[in-house]
């Protein structure tokens, strides 16, 4: 087993994975592969693990031989409930929970005064907690570990894609390795390279990009002061020249501190250890000892491709869309892309759906990306106003929040990532709950506890119909598993019925990714088959 990453006084020591000479350089050209994933970050590894759990083989090419990014510190750290439910289905959640820091409460502060506080746990009905904080490279290492256990993925380290040729019936990739170059062909290619995607740039695919002038500096530290797992955000921190600061506890008793910098700040200067130490000391107080683990500056840009599917190429995560990190909508949304795409590729490759199902990925995840960019952009403009009017609005909100409860939720320091509601799209029904993500509610089967995620895992890439009555509709050849509520499974807390708005005698059709495809008033087979056709893209999808 490859050792996990370890923090040290000079940074993080990332694991290294062995390069293996690819078969193309041993035996010559190979038959065309059904599926190749390019990029071993969060989105690419999640997709590979998702496919392997469903029994689907693929090739994953990664340009180096480790996880994370060398010298890039903790990177993403907040993993939301929906992501944790995905990881539970993939068999990774227990590792995350054991290593990370579970939390549900947060505060927005001005100086020492908490203007606004929240707690997501009381209203949660999922088997997973609202949030776990974990340095990104740990999660990626857990995914690599799980992929190795499943044994279906040809994970090729130090295989860097240097060129791409897109054809009507396949994609050809040119790959560089320590032993020289080779080419391979695939029926389908998923680009998970990240925001600097070579494939996207070489093909000249349309994107919309905007660079921000907001500057931040990550400082990972250890200290024994205030060891609480409450997320704290200062909108105007007196110890940071009235600019914003985030404070999170992560694994290994390391605190992630994000300091907002002046827009014209020099990245090299603000990340110097002596400058960072002085900044942290001002925050903690002169008598609080601490250990500096890592320091690094960052800025961000917004990017959105016009389409996430281009023939036989599909784009996920930062290769398709990039945004500011406010609200943890970066890595989480890439994982949700993979969760949306995995079961669709599995059905396609098994011959249970045609390629129109991939258009549903584009339609659904493009709108999710638009929403995430819209939300994070608003947060960014609250944290760094772009005009005098925006600055005045923020001043008013801060002043009102001191005295008036109604103004406190307007303190927009980052709306935390939530699963996208696909309502209104042609892929789901027209009910008010159709398209929403159903939490991982607790159920019973044969007198034993189970969860919705357990049942979705068993169903593999099949949809699950929960029937709240005695009539059992015929599957009619569709990829469908049927459970009668009250007989096959017991909804002992009523959460499944409440979350799907199911009525007595009705049917809740849940997709393999846990989203409600449709809540049907009865067990009519024709209505169920029509809902399945929409779900699998077998009806017309708007361009």
Q: What phi and psi values does residue 527 have, to the nearest 5 degrees?
A: -65, -40
Token output for 40: 């071993």
281: burial class by Cβ within 10 Å (0-12, 13-18, 19+)? middle
Q: Which two tokens stand for residue 537?
A: 């893209």
pLDDT, position 543: 34
At residue 164, the 3 state secondary structure works out as: strand
Q: How many domains does the chain have?
A: 3
Is the CB of residue 85 less than 8 Å from the CB of residue 124?
no
Burial label, 299 (beta-carbon count in 10 A; 0-12, 13-18, 19+)? middle
Average the pLDDT over 311-321 and give the result. 97
Cα–Cα distance, 316 to 193 (Å, whole number) = 9
- Phi-psi group of 529: left, alpha or beta (phi > 0 → left; psi -120 to 50 → alpha; rest → beta): alpha
Closest CA relative to residue 78, chosen from 102, 105, 108: 102
Range of the domain at 359: 6-89+129-208+301-376
* pTM attached to this predicted model: 0.95
Q: Do 162 and 39 belong together in one domain? A: yes
Listed range (123-137, 329-343, 384-398) with the worst mean pLDDT? 384-398
Strand 291-298, strand 255-261: pairing: unpaired
- CA dist 370 to 11, 65, 357, 428, Å? 35, 33, 21, 19
pLDDT tens column, 392-402: 998 899 889 88
pLDDT at 542 over 60: no
Whole-angstrom Cα distance, residue 238 to residue 75? 25
374-393 mean pLDDT: 88
- Residue 261's DSSP bridge partners are 215
Q: If pLDDT is split at 50, 70 and 90, which confidence band does 408 have?
A: confident
Q: Are residues 160 and 14 in the same domain?
A: yes
Q: How far apart are the first and last CA of the chain?
A: 46
Q: Which residue has the tokens 């077998």?
A: 538
Are 52 and 161 part of one and the same domain? yes
Contact 507, 466 (CB under 8 A): yes
Q: Does 452 share its domain with 309?
A: no
pLDDT tens, position by position, 512-530:
999 999 999 999 999 999 9
| DSSP element (H, E) containing 292 | strand 291-298
Judged on CB neighbours under 10 Å (0-12, 13-18, 19+), 276 is buried
Could you tell me if 390 and 371 lie in one domain?
A: no
CA atoms lying within 13 Å on the CB side of residue 76: 31
- Looking at beta carbons, which pairs linking 420-424 to residues 24 or more positions away fall under 8 Å? 420/336, 420/364, 420/365, 420/367, 420/368, 420/371, 422/364, 422/367, 422/515
Q: Is residue 351 part of a domain?
A: yes
Task: Find the mean pLDDT for residues 230-257.
Answer: 93
> Residue 431 has which token pair?
């009910």
Check which CATH number belongs to the domain holding 35 and give it: 3.50.50.60
H helix and E strand count, the chain: 14, 29
Across 150-178, average pLDDT: 98
Pair 454, 333 in one domain: no
The whole-number pLDDT of residue 414 equals 83
Average pLDDT, the chain: 92
Say if residue 175 is in the same domain as residue 62.
yes
Instruction: Please write down the long-range contacts of 26-29, taking CB distance under 8 Å and 24 or more positions apart.
Output: 29/183
Q: What percent of the chain has pLDDT over 90?
A: 77
Residues 452 and 510 in one domain: yes
pLDDT of residue 1: 46
Q: Regarding predicted confidence, which is higher, 8 or 88?
A: 88
* Phi, psi of 502, rounded to the nearest 5 degrees: -70, 140
CATH code, 476 = 3.40.30.120
Residues of the chain above pLDDT 70, percent: 96
Q: Do residues 214 and 301 lie in contact, with contact meaning Cβ atoms separated by under 8 Å? A: no
User: Which of 330, 354, 376 finishes a domain?
Assistant: 376
- Mean pLDDT confidence for 336-344: 98
Higher pLDDT, 421 or 115: 421
Give domain status of residue 542, yes or no. no
181 - beta bridge partners? 176
Asked if residue 235 is part of any domain, the answer here is no
Residue 227's pLDDT is what?
57
Contact 323, 376 (CB under 8 A): yes
């Amino acid at each position: 087993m490859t050792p996990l990453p370890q923090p040290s006084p000079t940074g993080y020591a990332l694991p290294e994975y062995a390069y293996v000479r690819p078969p193309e350089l041993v035996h010559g050209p190979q038959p065309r592969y059904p599926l190749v994933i390019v990029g071993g970050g969060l989105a690419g590894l999640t997709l590979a693990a998702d496919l392997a759990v469903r029994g689907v083989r693929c090739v994953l090419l990664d340009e180096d031989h480790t996880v994370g990014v060398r010298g890039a510190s903790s990177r993403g750290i907040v993993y939301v409930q929906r992501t944790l439910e995905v990881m539970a289905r993939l068999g990774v959640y227990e590792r995350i929970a054991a290593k990370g820091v579970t939390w549900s409460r947060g505060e927005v502060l001005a100086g020492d005064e908490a203007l606004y506080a929240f707690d997501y746990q009381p209203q949660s009905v999922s088997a997973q907690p609202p949030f776990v904080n974990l340095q990104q490279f740990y999660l990626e290492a857990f995914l690599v570990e799980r992929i190795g256990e499943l044994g279906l993925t040809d994970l090729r380290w130090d295989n860097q894609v240097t060129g791409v040729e897109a054809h009507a019936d396949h994609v050809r990739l040119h790959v560089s390795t320590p032993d020289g170059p080779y080419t391979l062909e695939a029926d389908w290619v998923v680009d998970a390279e990240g925001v600097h995607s070579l494939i996207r740039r070489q093909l000249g695919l349309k994107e919309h990009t905007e660079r921000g002038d907001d500057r931040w500096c990550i400082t990972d530290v250890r200290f024994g002061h205030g060891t609480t797992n409450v997320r704290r955000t200062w909108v105007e921190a007196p110890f940071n020249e009235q600019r914003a600061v985030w404070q999170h506890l992560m694994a290994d008793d390391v605190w992630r501190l994000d300091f907002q910098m002046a827009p014209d700040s020099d990245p090299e200067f603000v990340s110097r250890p002596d400058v960072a130490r002085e900044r942290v000391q001002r925050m903690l107080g002169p008598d609080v000892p601490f250990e500096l683990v890592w320091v690094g500056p960052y800025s961000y840009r917004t990017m959105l491709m016009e389409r996430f599917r281009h023939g036989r190429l599909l784009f996920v995560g930062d290769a398709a869309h990039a945004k500011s990190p406010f609200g943890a909508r970066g890595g989480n949304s890439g994982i949700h892309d993979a969760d949306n795409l995995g079961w669709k590729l599995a059905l396609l490759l098994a011959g249970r759906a045609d390629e129109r199902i991939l258009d549903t990925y584009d339609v659904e995840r493009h709108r999710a990306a638009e929403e995430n960019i819209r939300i994070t952009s608003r947060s960014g403009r609250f944290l760094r106003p772009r005009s005098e009017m925006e600055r005045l609005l923020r001043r008013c909100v801060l002043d009102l929040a001191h005295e008036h409860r109604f103004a406190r939720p307007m303190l927009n320091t980052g709306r935390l990532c939530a699963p996208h509601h696909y309502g209104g799209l042609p892929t789901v029904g027209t009910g008010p709950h159709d398209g929403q993500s159903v939490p991982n509610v607790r159920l019973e089967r044969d007198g034993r506890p189970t969860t919705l995620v357990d049942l979705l895992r068993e169903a593999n890439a099949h949809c699950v119909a929960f029937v709240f009555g005695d009539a059992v509709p015929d599957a009619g050849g569709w990829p469908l598993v049927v459970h009668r509520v009250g007989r096959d499974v017991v909804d002992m807390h009523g959460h499944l019925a409440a979350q799907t708005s199911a009525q007595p005698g009705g049917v809740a059709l849940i997709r393999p990714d846990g989203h409600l495809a449709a809540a049907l008033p009865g067990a009519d087979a024709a209505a169920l088959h029509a809902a399945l056709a929409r779900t699998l893209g077998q009806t017309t999808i708007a361009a």
